């Protein structure tokens, strides 16, 4: 129960989240003060080897760096994270691009995050980083919009070897339909708010994706790269109990 | 000015329409009685060599046949027409399919009407027949939805030779973007009401088309095959004053 | 290219679909004549051991039975299918309910399809049958709406052992959020058109699901049980190349 | 009747409001100048023992403090108030949290205001403070969102003893349905504008609440904590004529 | 868990609902067969003294009468009920209209259900009957739309003595605002789908009510008379634990 | 106050309406039984020289004729009326068409109702008849849609002599803007539900009219010819107190 | 035809507007530079005795004062005007408030502009000033919202003597319905963008007004006080040709 | 495939675009840094004689001028371009206004871009400049809104000689319908976001244009002058293969 005189001290961290859901609680940076973000990261990093904060800004990153070691901040997509896993598992500053040449050696497959235009890139990056830090290998495919269909087709081989695909697009949002017609694994579609006029902040893309004529497409909220990354990872890497 | 006692006798035919707009007044069948349609066709056929009625039903067709000769009715798309042009110009029961093998002999080019799924076919047919009766050569390309992108790509050569393209699609409405990325002529996009749930009777397709990431796409109203046919024809066959 | 004189004979079956996407082409019954459905089923059953037709009605079922053997029709959800797999793999008239007591012997896990109210049942059944015929074991959990939260909680153990969950709900559409808070696998949310007034034919449920505060929820179109079944199956049973 | 030359001097205070509606006129701070707020508070405090101003900012608070004694300002929710009731009745800086341990001694019951996430807290606080200053005992329950259903269930006992409940939530807005399934008193639901993308500034939550599958839920405008507080208080404390 | 072979036998009655929520489970008649309604009523009437079914039709009423005694059916609002309480408590065929002359003798007050136009009457009746069968005294005030404001004002005295008010209106939905300005108790607003054009099936009324400029108004779904009746009763008659 | 046992007998006629508003209560036929319409007409005709019922059907007309003399029914627009004014004032079966040739002799001016297409005619007729029976001279101008602008311009002289104009249009609803640019009197715009696809049942026309770039246009609900007729008449013929 | 090198010099004043429409062209200040507004005012004032500019700001007012004499600026509603009519006709700094006590001496009646809340006042002022400068006598009635219905009823006598009424309201927008039920002259309704949440920037009020249950209400665009003022004036003061 | 460490270096220019689509890739300036715009222009100008950047600002223009010669910036519509064609073909600072006096000497016709109000001018300019730089002769017609219909009619002769027309309008968006009724060539309609209140950022105009009652109108996205310019040019100047 909250009290009037300590209303600002409300965040109750859920340290059991990892056990229940396979990953520690993720911080949603938007609307939090730099000190709040830093404080929560500090508390989480004491119990977990990874901490993830989405929709972060550089002020929050600065504050976090003052109290936590090894903080990474990818400004282009607002992702702030700590990754203290052993080297080899850890994110290497490269989103697994080598996977795409030869996927044969990978036990649990990989994810491809693809996006239509460069304006969609921040959302795609959020999805890719989220899946990476959760433990998936991820390849990122940019600038494969439907208006130049040969671009996506030139990657058909890599797409068909992925265990899950995240397709990110604004405007008419047709990329997921195009990709889902090429593969036999789930496609997680992310509409973005990219566009103007009758794109209505992503509604056009959202509706397009919900009405995909291709089977195997499901959709998350507008600009929700994080959510798509979580789902793709859960498809790609089953909980341990399925591996026995 | 209308009078109370003759309110049902209101249709004032515009016999000068052909001169002003290049084609006689077109009848919109929806909501008219069989007798009204038949009467208007009879009046028009006395002054023109072609008469077109869209959104017609079989009752109207029967009534028209009782008072006018050589009435054709294409039930699948509700188009009722008379075509008394000299043979060779006249619609032959085949929408110019041979054009597609070899377009070299055509002075003014041709139009391709393509559609995503079989449910979109009536709208595509309305567009094709409209452009045909106005004087264009038209090819019809069906079942080229985006979920099987190889199908539309297998027709790339014919598409690139057309002077104008009508792209008809429901659901996510992505076909016009795909096609416009392949050609350098205008694409007239027709959203259809095909779909369910969040297609909202064609809104999803309409928004997708308005937000096309490809240049060269303009859009008409949902299910408005007739309108698209008129525009494609006007692109394909300029008014005579441009031919001097 | 279509021709005017054979416009009704348009269905071009895609017999390679199974190879590309892991399952033969699925028939969408809505808007097709009984003869069309029967004809397509007959053509497909000659090449495949399973045929699925969704949104079918009893007239179509009757027509199909006249030309195809072993046709099953589940009227409550409009699913018409043929399943000629060897016994043991085949759908048994019971959707794998015994799995739920003891999931330990299952190599590839199982899917749970749960729904909020009895009005949502047809959509849930469509999802369950789709995943079954594609090869998944599926349990169906009904009447677990959020207004009586103890009901869904009493099944927490079975839910936590599933490899994927389909959560079907109309009205406020909160079931997927509730379920996703209990598990660490993907939840595919299906909004239904159940409700009245401000449910706007499923929009309320759709928006609720897109805005789920729980991670791991993705959404398909309103009433699209089929689509959810496909996705859940693709999560549950990876393509064979991942099993080496 | 207004005059052109004194158009700025328009506020006509309704000093009889308390008699008709049980509480003095409440000031809506948004869009008023600091001086206007201060002037109105000064006028009201001369006739009433309590004055409430919602949607206030710190400039208005400063101005009010210059002309009125004992002004309280709760910045986190923008509530500015004066409470000159005898001690014991007065708001104590703690929203009645002790009530929740043992409600047996309370003649007229208490209200619980609960909210899903920390971003919803300002709206919950506005509701709680409004009901408090009107004379209700209020407990505030935070961070009980549906994605972690065990949290709200751990408070089931206190919830079931309340006379009215205010449930505040953004995003999918499912908390009121969950709570209403646990109790037999009215639940006043407040959608908030918390969320992004397809939350459409609170529409998703609003629709979810209007379509609640649980009986006993009614809804106020988006972010209208004040309105919910008034209603909950009117449920909790009947007008005096009912106490005879 | 449901089974494929008994999918139609799904209704699991919740006989503990009365204990938890103060009234037995209510049947929602829409979409149920006459036999289903009759069967559920028969099962409920064996355990409870009252059974309520909303959105019922005359076929369902006939079926119910064949297997249950003392079934009442109010066709104008589709309410089907059994009331086996002792006489005096039971609904008398008159909705407590005498209460309105003198409310002094009533321990727990009464509810007034008022509606704007005669088209709104069925929804108002559903609200009134729901509250009646749950145990409230209810007065019904019809034809008090805002366009003839003197009509509602002529009932100001009775309105001001009620413990809760249900205000039902379609079109612009302004009645709740008008009434809430006259009283100091909660007003439950019910928008109806009455209207045409820009009423959008009740959206105009719904929005009007959500934006009421009067305090104390909360809103239920369009045409949801039942929901409003439940809430008004819960306001009017507190659970027994509050009466000690 | 209504009683349960006579809920069907609710219509309370407002015989003072004429005094307060200048015309007797008007019957809205939609949803009323033939007997109800007939009964109300009979009651009204005993006190007034004119009775108007809008949205009536031929069954209601038949029932009315059985109990009331001199009933007129204009089926094309669903208007049922009795007009027992002295000849000369009475509606003559012709809506004042001669006025348009020479308006000089008219003391109080006249109204022109114009409409874009023939599908809009029923709404225009409802407006015209409403204004006529209330006492205005009315001219009806049909088929003056914006796509053939010369048609409306050919009536510019008559339009400029009217005291008020009702402009009725569906689809893009541009007629009122066009007309308002030609005159210096109020234009009452009536959007109609004529159109398909993105006309959204009249929303496109409604929005077009609300956004008119011409001054002097106000708008009524979709298809509300009656409302426009009332307003135009009130502009054209001031209440008697202004004539002194 | 415009030229690229003088694209900024585009304003072509329409000096014949007064003759055609009864008042000189009105300047819409929004989006114009101070110099543009000043320049246009200077040009107009040379030909007309009155100039009106709406949606003006103080920068524009300052610029206008530098080049034009006798410029008035009413900052609260953004109206900038010059009025060089003879005294007696000219706006006196008082909007005709004395009219309201005794309307008997007025030849052409007066207009009442009323508004619900103080936030609606700027829009009401724009309407009032517009009608004043065009030549009407106008009374302004503020703070007569529906939640305190006695306030508007206390002005019933003045309202019933007006020739036209402008009713301005945000939120649920019910004031026009209330007023129209009291009078027999046209009511011009102006929805305002006042409100929050589900008011959707004035949509709630707009829909409420379009669905008014009272006859005689027509509606203008959200916040369009100017438009309402023009219409009310045209109702109140007929063009001269009607006065002969 | 992108890499995490060079995510900002993503723009892959498509130098073959001219061959495929008849014009080099066009830069969309919005959201790009000045350096990005300058860099892309520099790369393109090395391979093409023309470069076009839309939605540019003056910072971008400055940066471009530092690295590229002969950069033109039309600030009023945000168009930045380089035109190194031979003189005679090049844009001359005048959009072909002389064409309008005598179109007889033009081989391929010209385009007219017309707009309703001065606020629509930037969008019209974007369309005009786009078509110019692509190689069309273009005339610009401003201030021809529907409220003063005589203005557009006075240009009927020039309009009827154009090969394609772009009609730009906000508010009710009726200009394209008006123009399309006068000509026999395609009209490309551009809705603008000009307006307020119920214009909803251009939705009103968009819907109006989609529902045009005139044949031959197709529509592009709100404010998409560039898109309309491309389409009009492709209509006006066919690809070279059609000129043999």
Which residue among A94, A112, A146 closes a domain? A94
Same-domain check for residues D115 and D80: no
Can you read off the two tokens belonging to residue E219?
Answer: 């809103």
H or E stretch covering D168: strand D164-169
- Structure-block tokens of residue C88: 């043991």
HSE toward the beta carbon, residue D134, CA cutoff 13 A: 35
Q: What is the pLDDT of residue H184?
A: 93
Contacts of F76 in chain B (CB under 8 A): 7-8
Is C220 in Cβ contact with A218 (below 8 Å)? yes
Whether H149 and F205 lie within 8 Å, measured CB to CB:
no
Chain B residues near residue F97 by CB distance under 8 angstroms: 1-3
Nearest-neighbour CA in chain G from E130: distance (Å): 28
Whether residue A1 is predicted with pLDDT greater than 80 in this model: the reply is: no
Q: How far is A187 from chain C (nearest CA, A)?
A: 8
Residue C5 has pLDDT above 80, yes or no: no
C-beta of residue F76 within 8 angstroms of C-beta of residue F121? yes
User: Residue A41: CB partners within 8 Å, gap ≥ 6?
Assistant: A27, A51, A53, A64, A67, A68, A71, A80, A82
Residues of chain A contacting B211 with CB distance shorter than 8 Å = 171-172, 195, 197-199, 204-205
Q: Which two tokens stand for residue C239?
A: 């393509």
Max Cα distance, chain G (Å): 62
Give, as one character, the DSSP assignment of residue C24. P
Q: Do C171 and D211 touch (CB under 8 A)?
A: yes
Residue E70 and residue E80: Cα distance in Å, rounded? Answer: 11
Tell me the pLDDT band of A13, cut-offs 50, 70 and 90: low
Do residue H119 and residue H194 come from a single domain? yes
User: Which pLDDT does position E101 carry in this prediction?
Assistant: 46
> Do the Cβ atoms of E118 and F10 come within 8 Å?
yes
Confidence band, pLDDT 50/70/90 cuts, at residue F86: confident
Give which of A229, A152, A157, A160 is closest to A188, Cα–Cα. A229
E163 vs D contacts (CB less than 8 Å): 238, 242
Q: D240 falls in which pLDDT band (50, 70, 90)?
A: confident
Identify which has the larger pLDDT, G97 or A79: A79
Instruction: Give the mean pLDDT of C145-171.
Output: 92
Give a three-class secondary structure readout of C147-174. HHHHHHHCCHHHHHHCCEEEEEECCCCC
Tokens at A1, concatenated: 């129960």
Same domain, B65 and B168: no
- Tally of domains in chain E: 2
Separation between Cα atoms, residue H17 and residue H26, nearest integer Å: 9
Q: Which residues in chain C are contacts of E224 at CB distance < 8 A?
A: 197
pLDDT digit string, tens, across residues A137-157: 899 998 898 888 888 999 998
pLDDT confidence bin for F106, thresholds 50/70/90? very low
Residues 6+ apart with CB under 8 A from C88: none
Residue G11 pLDDT greater than 60, yes or no: no
DSSP lists the bridge partners of residue C71 as: C82
E203 by DSSP, 3-state: which? helix
Confidence (pLDDT) at G112: 95
Cα–Cα distance measured from residue B53 to residue B210, given in angstroms and rounded to the nearest whole number: 28
Burial of residue B18 (CB within 10 Å: 0-12, 13-18, 19+) is middle
Residue D41 has pLDDT above 80, yes or no: yes
Q: Is the pLDDT of residue E66 over 90?
A: yes
Relative orientation angle of helices A225-236 and A121-134, to the nearest 10 degrees: 40
Same domain? For B125 and B235 the reply is: yes
The residue out of E94, E122, E138 marking a domain boundary is E94
Which residues of B are less than 8 Å from F91 in CB distance? 4
Q: Can you tell me which residue has the tokens 């929303």?
A: F203
Torsion of the alpha carbons at F29, F32, F35 and F41, rounded to the nearest 10: -30
Instruction: Evaluate if residue H62 carries a pLDDT over 90.
Output: yes
Q: Where are the alpha helices (DSSP H) in A48-163?
A: 58-67, 121-134, 149-153, 156-161
User: String of b and e for E151-176 (b: at least 16 CB within 10 Å)?
Assistant: bbeebeebbbbbbbbbbbbbbbbbbb
Mean pLDDT of G166-180: 95
Between CA D120 and CA G144 the distance in angstroms is 34
* Cβ pair F174:H171 closer than 8 A: no
What is the number of alpha carbons within 13 Å of residue H93 lying toward its C-beta? 4
Which chain G positions have a beta carbon within 8 Å of E198's beta carbon? 207, 210-211
| H14/H114 same-domain check | no
- pLDDT value at B92 more than 70: no
Whole-Å CA distances, A187 to A139, A211, B186 = 14, 14, 32
Query: Which of F39, F63, F94 is the endpoint of a domain?
Result: F94
Phi, psi of D53 (to 5 degrees): -130, 125
Average pLDDT over residues D116-125: 90
The tokens 């694409």 sit on which residue? B187
| The dihedral sign for the CA sequence E104, E105, E108, E114 | negative
Residue H132 banded pLDDT, cuts 50, 70, 90: very high
Q: Which of E212, E177, D2 is nearest to G142 (CA)?
A: D2
Distance CA B179, CA G129 (A): 56
B114 and B181 part of one domain: yes
* Whole-angstrom Cα Rg for chain E: 19
Buried b (16+ CB within 10 A) or exposed e, A8-31: eeebeeeeebbeebbbbbbbbbee
Residue C73, classed as helix, strand or coil, is strand
Same domain, B111 and B216: yes
- Least Cα separation, residue C170 to chain D (angstroms): 9
**C198:D207 CB<8 A:** yes
**Residue range(s) defining the domain that contains residue H39:** 1-94
Instruction: Please give the residue of chain G at the shortest CA–CA distance from H112.
Output: G1
If asked whether residues G240 and G152 sit together in one domain, one would say yes
Edge-to-edge strands, sheet with B71-74? B27-28, B50-54, B79-83, B71-74
The answer to whether the CB of F130 falls within 8 A of the CB of F229 is yes
Query: Residue holding tokens 């041979």?
Result: B98
F136: Cβ–Cβ under 8 A, 6 or more apart, which residues?
A: F108, F110, F111, F232, F233, F236, F237
B242 and B154 belong to one structural domain:
yes
Q: D76: which chain A residues are within 8 Å (Cβ-Cβ)?
A: 7-8
Residues D193 and D77 placed together within one structural domain of the fold: no
What does the alpha-carbon distance between residue D77 and residue D179 come to, in Å, rounded to a whole number?
Answer: 24
- Angstrom CA distances, A188 to A191, C190, G143, H185, stand at 10, 15, 53, 44
Q: How many residues does chain H have?
A: 244
Rounded to the nearest integer, the mean pLDDT of chain G is: 86
Structure tokens at B156: 């790339």
CATH code (residue A116): 3.40.50.1970
Per-residue pLDDT for F6 more than 70?
no
**pLDDT (tens digit per residue) in F33-65:** 999 999 999 999 999 999 999 999 999 999 999
Instruction: Verify whether the Cβ–Cβ distance F228 to G219 is below 8 Å.
Output: no
Neighbors of chain E with 3 or more C-beta pairs under 8 Å: C, D, F, G
For every residue of chain H, DSSP letters joined together read ---GGGTT------TTHHHHHSSPPPEE-TT--HHHHHHHHHHHHTT-SEEEEES--HHHHHHHHHHSSSEEEEGGGTEEEEE-SPTTTS--SS-SGGGGT--TT-SS--EEEEESSGGGHHHHHHHHHHHHHHT--EEEE-S--GGGHHHHHTTHHHHHH-SEEEEEE-TT--HHHHHHTT-SS-EEEEE-----GGGGGGHHHHHHHHT-SSTTEEE--TT-HHHHHHHHHHHHS--GGG--
What pLDDT score was predicted for residue C98? Answer: 44
Task: Please state whether at least 3 CB pairs lie below 8 Å between chains H and E.
Answer: no
CB contact under 8 A, C188 and A218: yes
List chain B residues with CB under 8 Å of F110.
none
| Distance in angstroms (rounded) separating the CA atoms of residues C181 and C198 | 26
Please give the mean pLDDT across all residues of chain D.
86
The pLDDT value recorded for residue D103 is 45
More confident residue, H103 or H166: H166
Mean pLDDT of E205-211: 97
Interface residue ranges in chain A relative to chain D, Cβ cutoff 8 Å:
1-5, 7-8, 10-12, 14, 30-31, 191, 193, 201-203, 206, 221-224
State the best of A144, A208, A209, A214 to mutate against chain B, taking most chain B CBs within 10 Å. Answer: A208
Cα distance between residue H29 and residue F74, in whole Å? 61
Please give the Cα distance from F227 to G186 (Å, whole number).
11
pLDDT at D99 over 60: no
Adjacent-strand bridge partners of H28? H54
Q: What is the Rg, in whole angstroms, of the alpha carbon atoms belonging to chain F?
A: 19
Of the CA atoms within 13 Å of residue A227, those in its CB half-sphere come to 30
Chains in contact with C, where contact means 3 or more Cβ–Cβ distances below 8 Å, are A, B, D, E
Residue F177 and residue F114 in contact, taking contact as beta carbons nearer than 8 Å: no
Q: What is the CA radius of gyration of chain C?
A: 19
DSSP B2: -
Indicate the range of E117-121, G112-116, G209-213 predicted with least confidence.
Answer: E117-121
Residue of D218, D236, D239, D243 to mutate, interface with E, max E Cβ within 10 Å: D218
Closest CA to F149 of F178, F176, F171: F178
Average pLDDT over residues B84-101: 62
Per-residue pLDDT at G75 exceeds 80: yes
The yes-or-no verdict on residue A103 having pLDDT over 50 is no
Alpha-carbon gap: B38 to the closest alpha carbon of chain C (Å): 24
Q: Same domain, yes or no, for B183 and B88?
A: no
pLDDT at residue C106, rounded to an integer: 47
Q: Does F171 contact H117 at a Cβ distance shorter than 8 Å? A: no
All residues of chain F having their beta carbon less than 8 Å from the beta carbon of residue H209 are: 172
User: For the stretch F157-184, what's the b/e string if a residue is b when 16 or more beta carbons lie within 10 angstroms of its beta carbon?
Assistant: ebbbbbbbbbbbbbbbbbbbbbbbbbbb
**Residues D49-96 pLDDT 10s:** 999 999 999 999 999 999 999 999 999 999 999 999 987 767 765 454
Structure tokens belonging to residue B219 = 């859009």
Q: Does residue B89 sit in the same domain as residue B109? A: no
Lowest mean pLDDT among C231-240, E1-10, F160-169: E1-10
Retrieve residue E227's tokens. Answer: 């929901």
Kindly state the greatest CA–CA separation across chain D. 62
**Is C132's pLDDT higher than 50?**
yes
Positions of E strands within A37-83: 50-54, 71-74, 79-83
Chain G interface residues (partner D, CB cutoff 8 A): 74, 76, 91-95, 97, 100, 118-119, 121, 125, 139-143, 148, 196-199
pLDDT per position as a tens digit, G109-135: 899 999 988 889 999 999 999 999 999
Mean pLDDT of D227-235: 97
CA distances from E23 to D186, E18, E111, E137 (A): 14, 4, 18, 16
pLDDT at E104 over 70: no
Q: Which of C147, C151, C217 to mutate to test the interface with D (most CBs of D within 10 A)?
A: C147
């Amino acid at each position: 129960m909250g009290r009037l005189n300590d209303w600002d001290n409300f965040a109750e961290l859920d340290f059991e989240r990892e056990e229940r859901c396979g990953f520690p609680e993720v911080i949603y940076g938007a609307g939090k003060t730099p000190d709040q973000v830093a404080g929560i990261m500090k508390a989480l990093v004491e119990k977990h080897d990874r901490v993830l904060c989405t929709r972060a800004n550089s002020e929050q990153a600065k504050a976090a760096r003052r109290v936590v070691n090894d903080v990474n901040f990818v400004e282009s997509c607002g992702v702030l994270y700590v990754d203290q896993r052993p080297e080899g598992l850890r994110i290497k500053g490269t989103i697994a691009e080598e996977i795409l040449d030869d996927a044969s050696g990978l036990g649990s497959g990989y994810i491809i995050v693809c996006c239509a235009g460069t304006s969609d890139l921040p959302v795609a990056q959020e999805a890719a980083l989220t899946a990476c830090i959760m433990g998936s290998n991820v390849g990122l495919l940019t600038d494969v919009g439907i208006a130049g269909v040969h671009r996506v087709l030139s990657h058909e081989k890599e797409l068909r070897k992925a265990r899950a695909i995240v397709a990110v697009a604004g405007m008419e949002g047709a990329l997921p339909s195009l990709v889902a017609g090429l593969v036999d694994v789930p496609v997680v579609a992310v509409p973005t708010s990219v566009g103007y006029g009758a794109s209505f902040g992503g509604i056009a893309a959202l509706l397009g994706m919900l009405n995909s004529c291709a089977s195997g497409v499901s959709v998350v909220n507008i600009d929700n790269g994080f959510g798509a990354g979580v789902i793709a990872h859960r498809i790609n890497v089953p909980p341990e109990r399925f591996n026995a």
